[in-house]
Amino acid sequence: MTKAKKLSLKQNYTMLTKGLDWEPSYQKKEDIFPQLSFEGIKIHNWDNWEDPFRLTIDAYWKYQGEKEKKLYAIIDAFQQNNGQFNVTDARYIQALKIFINAVVGLEYSAWRGFTRLGRELGDASPRIATQMQAIDEMRHATTQTHAISHYNRFFEGMGNAPYQYDHAWYLSIPKSFFDDACSAGPFEFIVAISFAFEYVLTNLVFMPWMSGAAYNGDMSTVSFGFSAQSDEARHMTLGLEVIKFLLEQDPDNVAIVQKWIDKWFWRAYRVLSLVATMMDYMLPKRVMSWDEAWTIYYEENGGALFADLARYGIKPPRNAEVTIKEKGRLSHEMWSIFYANRDVVGFPLWLPSQEEMAWFSEKYPDTFDKYYRPRFEYWQELEDLGTPYTNSTLPQLCQVCQWPCLFTEADDPTEFVHRETEFDGEIFHFCSDGCHQIFEDEPKKYIQAWLPVHQIYMGNCLLPDADPSSPDFNPMAEAIRYMGIKPGVDGGLFKDHSDAKNWEKWTERPANIHQGASTDFVRKTSSQNSK
């Protein structure tokens, strides 16, 4: 018996894609792929789709399997060595709570979205590419969960991630972002996620999370990051291929793609405010400021990208100049609202130390001392007096991005943005021109937003065991409980939080390296930098 000759990679890939596909004979193509026309995108020839990776099933399985093996070996070692206590301090762990509660849900939604594309796109090779990306995204959701679940055995606020993602007020921001994409057509989804989010902005997520994790001694998250990074390289390349393919297929596609780039750049930027906050305020050892990251990863790298796309008639995203004007204040505005509302947040909050404020003054010379230092110093006084500043009224929300309307005018950080419109006789508010423009383009989509503040006031945020008629009924505490946040446990002031106290008890190191010890458990000199 003669042994069949091994196929070359190219033959293998062709058989997997073209070879497994067929021309339908008794059903119309548009009935089999019903989502391909309503967005107005015109595709004349799917054969022009060039998969930059030509990934085959056996190659994919082999690479991913090897990465998994390495990742889980490191996670095992991390757990056996009590790696959770080797991070800089217990504030770092608070950043992981955003990761587990927000990012894992995004990965899972990405799986949903790409799975649909794996069914709906009009040719076998993009269907295979998106199907493999779907598997990657599911892998990211599971490996992130595994990497972080170890922390959940020691610290609060990480045990209810999928539930919080679907219910917590500030997680409606990332959730609505992906729900918006998943409920759009397949071409809009792929431009939104593969191009605007992954190609243009992934570095901004990876860089601070992964370098930040490495810098703060979190080997478990770092190894997840390395494991995901080669997937991400593939996803980014797909994003660029998609854009070029759509733009080359028909000149009419250009305006549609431009509109999606404008929309999804803005949507993604608003979600990334959480990353800005984490970089500047939650990493005890900081990698770079949000201002620096935005300058490098958006203004410089993005600038080069859009210069390259100019030959197709594509312009840089609308409102990009607003993001540049906002970069000196974004994280400060954001941390202020989290601090002032810390009792309804899933992690405890703290004020920046003297050392951190000195760093802000240096990194944000035009804004920090002028607008934010006086605020934080005043709040520190109040904290020292035992009457910390606390807001107790819910915000006006943006109908599109679902952030509170907390942002200030591009040219004046002392004036709140007011943008409002009417549709069908009802009033809607927005945080920015960017969100307002998105609404005006598709009002019938955004009127159906599930806005947490309004839902609370309607009385819809109650668990079945809540009793509004009981004399000690506390509507806000009940709403928080409904959102998967434990009132009095998950939020509050960091120095009083059980994570901080347990950290000092278990490690004998300060829970906040800049503030020194807050309990008697820390016997060593408190100002010394722990590790």
Partner 1 sequence: MPIKSIRPDYRGEYKDGIEHFNGQQLLNICWEKHTMLGWPMCVPVPATLTFGQLIDNVLPGIYAIHPDFEKIDWDKVQWSTSKGPLIPNRNKSLREHELRHKAQIRFRTPELNGHNNGG
Q: Contact residues for Zn ion (CB under 5 A)?
A: 398, 400-401, 431, 435
Residues whose CB is less than 8 angstroms from the CB of residue 520 and which lie 6 or more positions away in sequence, other chains included: none
Binding flags for partner 1, 333-352, as an x/- string (CB under 8 A): x--xx--xx-----------
Measuring CA to CA, how many Å separate 386 from each of 201, 344, 380, 443, 493? 41, 19, 10, 47, 11
Q: What is the DSSP letter of 1?
A: -
- The radius of gyration of the chain from alpha carbons, rounded to an integer in Å, stands at 24
Which residue from 34, 52, 365, 488 is in contact with partner 1, where contact means CB under 8 A? 34
Under 8 Å between Cβ of 513 and 495: no
Q: Which of 163, 162, 107 has its CA nearest to residue 137?
A: 107
Under 8 Å between Cβ of 177 and 49: no
Beta carbon of residue 142, minimum distance to partner 1 (angstroms, whole number): 31
Beta carbon of residue 106, minimum distance to Fe ion (angstroms, whole number): 8
Q: Could you give the CA distance from residue 268 to residue 456 in angstroms, rounded to a whole number?
A: 26
Which residue from 107, 120, 156, 262 is in contact with Fe ion, where contact means CB under 5 A? 107
Tokens of 225: 């990051």
Q: Could you give the CA distance from residue 216 to residue 94 in angstroms, rounded to a whole number?
A: 13
Q: Could you give the CA distance from residue 428 to residue 448 in angstroms, rounded to a whole number?
A: 11
Q: Which is nearer to partner 1, 289 or 336 (CB)?
A: 336
Q: Decide if residue 413 touches partner 1 (CB under 8 A).
A: yes
Beta carbon of residue 50, minimum distance to Fe ion (angstroms, whole number): 20
Total residues interacting with Fe ion, rule: CB under 5 A: 4
Select from Fe ion, partner 1, Zn ion, none the partner in contact with residue 398, using the beta carbon and a kind-dependent cut-off of 5 to 8 Å: Zn ion
Q: Which is nearer to partner 1, 78 or 195 (CB)?
A: 195
Under 8 Å between Cβ of 376 and 326: no
Tokens of 291: 């201002």
Under 8 Å between Cβ of 517 and 510: yes
Binding flags for Fe ion, 131-160, as an x/- string (CB under 5 A): ------x--x--------------------
Q: Decide if residue 211 touches partner 1 (CB under 8 A).
A: no
Binding flags for partner 1, 174-193, as an x/- string (CB under 8 A): ----------xx--x-----
Q: Could you give the CA distance from residue 190 to residue 179 in angstroms, rounded to a whole number?
A: 13
Q: Which is nearer to Zn ion, 96 or 400 (CB)?
A: 400
Which residue from 429, 481, 497, 509 is in contact with partner 1, where contact means CB under 8 A? 429
Beta carbon of residue 498, minimum distance to partner 1 (angstroms, whole number): 26
Footprint of partner 1 (CB under 8 A): 34-35, 38-40, 184-185, 188, 333, 336-337, 340-341, 370-378, 389-397, 404-406, 408, 413-416, 418, 420, 424, 426-429, 441-451, 453-455, 457-459
| Chain residues that interact with Fe ion, rule: CB under 5 A | 107, 137, 140, 235
